[in-house]
Amino acid sequence: MGRSKVKPETLEKERKVLEFRRGGLTFDLIAERLGYASASGAHKAYLSACNRIVYEDVVEVRKSEMDRLDIAQAAIWGDLTDTQNVDANTRARLVLALIKIMERRARLLGLDMPTKAQVEVSIYDRDTIDDEVKRLVAILNSQPQS
């Protein structure tokens, strides 16, 4: 069974979706610019394009994102080290922005430890649920009305 061919127009549109997304546009804006009916259409095209990308392209995107983070961090760091022209409120905002950049870099590079979650599941059979409902109704009926 052969793979279906994708129309060149579709590939070009998906290429533009990737380009716009790499530029930081939202799926709403991408949909508007490229004529998709909704953001979900643009998102679907983005996912299709991502599935076609060869691994080296993903590495390039990651490098581009790292470059952007480096540029943003350097700009913030320069402002933070300028102790004469930065007031306390501005300094606090810059530190928060710097932390967000560092968090994003850690996620992008997979530096954070996985988060562990403990989940508890209670399973009730129908008789147990019916008995619990009866018990709760009896409690409600026994309470004085206000």
44 is a domain residue: yes
Residue 141 maps to a domain: no
Residue 104 lies inside a defined structural domain of this protein: yes
Quick check: is 133 in a domain?
no
Q: Cα 88 from chain centroid? A: 31
> Whole domain around residue 22: which residue ranges?
1-53
Return the DSSP state at 6: P
Looking at the domain assignment, is residue 116 inside a domain?
no
Q: Are residues 87 and 73 in the same domain?
A: yes
The answer to the question of residue 125 being in a domain is no
| Eight-class DSSP state of 35 | T
The model scores a pTM over 0.75: no
pLDDT digits (tens, 9 = 90+) for 52-103: 766 666 778 888 899 999 999 999 998 888 877 778 898 899 999 999 999 9
Task: Indicate if the pLDDT at residue 46 is higher than 50.
Answer: yes
Q: Do 49 and 85 lie in a common domain?
A: no
Residue 132 lies in a domain: no
The verdict on residue 70 lying in a domain is yes
User: What pLDDT is attached to residue 2?
Assistant: 43
- Total domains, the chain: 2
Instruction: Say yes or no: 49 and 1 in one domain.
Output: yes
